[in-house]
Amino acid sequence: MGIRLNVNGVVHDLDVEPDAPLLWVIRDELNLTGTKFGCGVAACGACTVHVNGKATRSCVVPVGSVAGAQITTIEGLGAGAPTAVQQAWIEHQVPQCGYCQSGMIMAVSALLATNPAPTDDQLAAAITNICRCGTFPRIRAAVRDLAARKASGGAR
Amino acid sequence: MNRRKFLIGGATAAGALIVGYAFWPSRRLARADQLAAKSGERFVASWIKLANDGTITVVVPHCDMGTGIFTALSQMAADELDADWDKVRAETAPADPLFANGPLAEGFALEQVNIRGDSIPGFLRGGATGSLRVLAEYLDVQTTGGSSAVRFTGVYGMRVAGAAVREMLVKAAAAQMNAPAGEFRTEMSRVIHVPTGKSFGYGELAAAAAEYAPSARPKLKSASEFRFIGRPVPRLDIPAKVNGSTHYGIDTQFPDMYYAAIRISPVFGGKLVSLDEAPIARSRGVKKVVRFDDAVVVVADRLWRARNAVEVLQPVFNNAGNENISSKTIRDAQLAALNDGKIKKDLTTGVGAEALKNGKLVERLYNVPYLAHAPMEPPNATALYKKDGTLEVWSGTQDGLGSRAFCAKAAGLSLDKVTFHLLPSGGGFGRRLPGFWNFLTYAVKTAMAVPGVPVKLVFTREQEMQHDFYRPNVTSRFKAVVNHDGMPEAWVNDYTTDEDPNPEAHIFYAVPNQAYGTAKVAAYVPTGPWRSVEASWHGFFIESFIDELAHEAKKDPLEFRRELLQEKPRHLATLNLAAEKAGWGTPLPAGRGRGIAIFECFGTIVVHVAEVEVSDAGAVKVHRFTSAADCGTAVNPDGFRAQVESAVIFGLSAALYGEITIEHGAVEQQNFTDYEVVRLADTPEIEVHIHESDAPLGGAGEPGIPPVAPAVVNAIFAATEVRIRELPVKNQPLAVSARRG
């Protein structure tokens, strides 16, 4: 029967097959298009969302497996105002085409929630998302900046 | 000139000749208002709208594929306008002939003419520049490619339009005060009467200013007066790109729309022979199966249902006799063409190949593979064929107007029956240029099979990896003769091609005798322009061979290049800047080497110094890139640096991993799992230094690419004494046990 899905704090009862990929349910059933399709095989991370706070590549997640979970997409990040990560992305002028950045920001936000000051190696190990425009140097600079602010006790 | 060359350029801009700009008569402005002005705003001149509240909108005849041109072009217009930056917006021009990009056509025309050394031909020169705009319309030009936006649209279009609008605003204020125009100055979107201090906001004057005819030759600022040009202005598009609200082509959504998934013949040229639709006849949501000559499309009410259904189908395609084509047969054909003596001569300088007879001969052969563009947003288009026989299409391409004409042709409709909505692209890199729009063809024809319902066709990554228009696989052979001092006296370069000779092969080094030739190889794999086009391979070939000559001469590779660039002050200065910032010649830890490479294309010189470590086991780690570039003036220095950083990463993906291979007539790679690209873990520290010069504005998006791969292989040679002559690097055994002395 139907699947109950909690996305960005809103509960939806959906008539979809349990094996439908979460990505396409988010995009085409809920019309939340900020989450992107890049590869369909969890290789690029463009479709990253949070499932119970954990960065998850939604293109390979059957929607039936996350019924009842708290799902957050880029549209649900922060409470109306840009988060510290989004602000750092603007300050460092990170995006180019911008297509991968929803997934990138979701992945980095989940990492920083558990490790607020990652080393470069920890960052590279955790963030394996692909950006074909090559914004990686600026992503690294933005995260270093966020980590340094955290280390110096700065406000977020 | 052939049309492709004309559209995407690729040679060195030789002139900064501003020949004016075609302004629109009032009936054109009225039509522009109809097409693209909201209530309370109007077009005052081409590309610029002014609103009653003072908002200035720069209407850009390009696509946003990530390079920051909407901001750079707005900076150029706003500077001449003396605008308040907070009131400046940018939007995409409608895909209408009215908004054909005359300045772009003009820039390319001048570029083509200049490299031929001819004067401007009459058909381009006539009637000031009006005929160039007509030419742009004829060619449906709204192309974004050839690193052209800033250097052509910006120089010939936006600055001139901005300056003309400023003059119109001054005239309007002068009329209101009944004072001479000379008594007014402009600042922060206000016209100020100097003697009295009375001032008017641009919004107040907008309606009156629009009544004047724009001057075709307004007074332009000198560089010392610039307020926005040359400043790192934050990009206008970035806030919407960090919260998911930018709508790309793939985000086109309508209630009750359909979605379509495609399966194309895996073998190039293969045709659909038979198809049994029974297995999906009862699949949920499936609406229609559309058969093409070479493909099958399933239309459903959801994309995943369409995709699942198309994967269930077992269409039978024939192989069109191509099943035995492989990377090996293609390579064999290239070598045969280079060796069969049928080289078609291109440029010769001095005595050309005759000079090979005297001195020590150095001969080398290089190869680059096919490459996919792999933009993050897979090609897609949404199309609606209405019951009244009109067609509406939404997509991200590198030419809105061209796409509209293309869709009209695919549908068999006249242009006025077709609307095309150009949306931002999740990366382009050449994939979405005119001529490579297989996704538009399939989408339009699918929509016509389900009239009245919008249908979005999306390539899966696998379909895109297998049906791209690839960067060509090219083999290049060099022969040089060096004198007693090790310096080249003769330089002979023959390379394979499936079309015209490439000016990008011609070196800027002082070698007295040069000869170039091409060996024609039949095309089988569909190819197309890939970020920096021909320069992407000749940069690797030339800068690898010059490095080999330096080592043959037992000279430092930097010093060797300097000796050959004594007559090229810009090249020399850029080379020296990169070398100095990289600490060229200072000691490195064991296992590391530095490599340098320089290339010029699209009017910009870029030098990279790569610092690379090769482990005893053969693992390659690129630690650092130190880059220097001369693009004349960087309109937005931070944006320019971002483009060079981007080129380093994109170029590294190609140099280290990039390879599309053919087996049994089909592409072997499927997805990012077997078409590996650089990620954060592979990202070196990158420093970009700008060398300012008085040269005409150069391009930004592409010129950083060509010197990336040679800098890396030259650094690997410095670290290991192993010379890599075939890309990608990953295929070359570099473990100590595999190295030969």
Both B206 and B299 in a single domain? no
pLDDT of residue B23: 60
Q: Looking at the structure, do residues B217 and B304 belong to the same domain, yes or no?
A: no
Which amino acid, B401?
L
Average predicted confidence (pLDDT) for chain B? 91
User: Does residue B547 share a domain with residue B437?
Assistant: no
Strand partners, A50: A55, A72
pLDDT at B309 over 50: yes
pLDDT at position B74 over 60: yes
Closest CB to B251: pick one of A33, A100, A105.
Answer: A33
Looking at residue B148, what is its pLDDT?
78
Percent share of chain B, pLDDT over 70: 91
- Per the domain annotation, does B373 fall within a domain? no
User: For residue A79, how many other CB atoms are within 10 A of its CB?
Assistant: 6
What's the confidence (pLDDT) of residue B8?
32
- Regarding whether A88 and A72 lie in a shared domain, the answer is no
Residue A71: DSSP 8-state: E
Of B237, B303, B678, the CB nearest to A28: B303
Q: B488 and B448 in one domain?
A: no
What is the percent of chain B with per-residue pLDDT over 90, rounded to a whole number? 82
Q: Pick A101's closest partner by Cβ from B241, B646, B672.
A: B241
Q: Is B132 a residue whose pLDDT tops 80?
A: no
pLDDT (0 to 100) of residue B80: 96
Q: What are phi and psi of B607, to 5 degrees?
A: -120, 130
pLDDT value at position B13?
Answer: 31
**Within an 8 Å CB–CB cutoff, is residue A148 touching chain B?**
no
Range of the domain at B535: 474-738
Structure tokens belonging to residue B318: 């024939």
Whole-number Å distance between alpha carbons of B248 and B323: 37
pLDDT above 60: residue B239? yes
The reply to whether A156 falls in a domain is no
Q: B261: part of which helix (H) or strand (E)?
A: strand B258-264
Q: What is the CATH number of the domain that holds A56?
A: 3.10.20.30
Are the beta carbons of B643 and B704 closer than 8 angstroms?
Answer: yes
Domain termination site, one of A12, A42, A76: A76
User: What local confidence, expressed as pLDDT, does residue B22 receive?
Assistant: 42
Residues ≥6 apart with Cβ < 8 Å to B5? B112, B500
SS (H, E, C) B161-211: HHHHHHHHHHHHHHHHHCCCHHHEEEECCEEEECCCCCEEEHHHHHHHHCC
For B260, which DSSP code?
E
Give A-chain residues touching B250 at CB under 8 angstroms. Answer: 33, 36-37
CA-nearest residue to B463 within chain A is A39
pLDDT at B141 (0 to 100):
67
Q: Does residue B236 fall inside a structural domain?
A: yes
Q: Do B605 and B562 fall within a single domain?
A: yes
- What is d(CA B44, CA B83) in angstroms, rounded to the nearest whole number? 15
Q: Would the pLDDT of B133 be above 70? A: no
- In 10 A of CB B368, how many CB atoms? 25
CB contact under 8 A, A38 and B374: no
Out of B34-48, B63-77, B483-497, least confident range: B34-48
Last residue of a domain, one of B429, B458, B487: B458
* Domain harbouring B383, CATH code: 3.30.365.10
pLDDT of residue B505: 97
Are both A9 and A26 inside the same structural domain? yes
CA distance B380 to chain A (A): 11
User: Does a structural domain hold residue B597?
Assistant: yes
- Chain A to chain B, count of Cβ pairs less than 8 Å apart? 180
* DSSP per-residue letters across A104-156: HHHHHHHHHHH-SS--HHHHHHH-----TT--HHHHHHHHHHHHHHHHTT---
Total domains present in chain A? 2
| pLDDT at residue B498 tops 50 | yes
Residue A32, phi then psi, degrees to nearest 5: -95, 95
Q: What is the pTM of this model?
A: 0.94
Let me know whether B384 and B523 are in one domain.
no
Range A136-148 average pLDDT? 97
Q: Is A103 on the interface with B (CB under 8 A)?
A: no
Which strands form B604-614's sheet, in the order they lie side by side? B592-601, B604-614, B620-630, B685-690
What mean pLDDT do residues A80-94 have?
Answer: 96
User: Across the interface, which of A24, A35, A36 has its CB nearest the CB of B304?
Assistant: A24
| Number of domains within chain B | 3
The Cα–Cα gap between B656 and B638 comes to: 27
Looking at residue B29, what is its pLDDT?
82
Residues B452 and B550 in one domain: no
Predicted confidence band of residue B740 (pLDDT cuts 50, 70, 90):
low
User: Residue B647: its pLDDT value, please?
Assistant: 98
Q: Is A82 on the interface with B (CB under 8 A)?
A: yes
The complex scores an ipTM of 0.97
**Is residue B368 a part of any domain in this protein?**
no
Q: Find the mean pLDDT for residues B412-422.
A: 96
Residue A141: half-sphere exposure toward Cβ, Cα within 13 Å: 17
User: CA-CA distances (angstroms) from residue B307 to A24, B191, B299, B383?
Assistant: 11, 59, 9, 18
Give the structural domain span for A119: 84-151
Residue B499's pLDDT band, with cuts at 50, 70 and 90, is confident
How does the average pLDDT of chain A come out, rounded?
Answer: 95
- Supply the angle between the helices B202-209 and B159-177 in degrees, to the nearest 10: 90
User: Would you state the structure tokens that stand for residue B681, as one six-digit string?
Assistant: 């873990």
| Same domain? B648 vs B685 | yes
Please tell me which residue of chain A has the smallest CA distance to B456.
A28
Kindly give, in sequence order, each residue whose CB lies less than 8 Å from that of residue A129, ignoring residues fewer than 6 positions away.
Answer: A44, A45, A46, A48, A100, A103, A104, A107, B679, B680
Length of chain A: 156
Of B102-116, B454-468, B691-705, where does mean pLDDT reach its minimum?
Answer: B102-116
Of B241, B272, B287, which closes a domain? B241
List CB contacts (< 8 A) between B621 and chain A: none
Q: Using one digit for the tens of pLDDT, what is the confidence trace for B612-668? A: 999 999 999 999 999 999 999 999 999 999 999 999 999 999 999 999 999 999 999
Token pair for residue B656?
């280290």
Helix (H), strand (E) at residue B628 = strand B620-630
Domain boundary among B396, B427, B458: B458
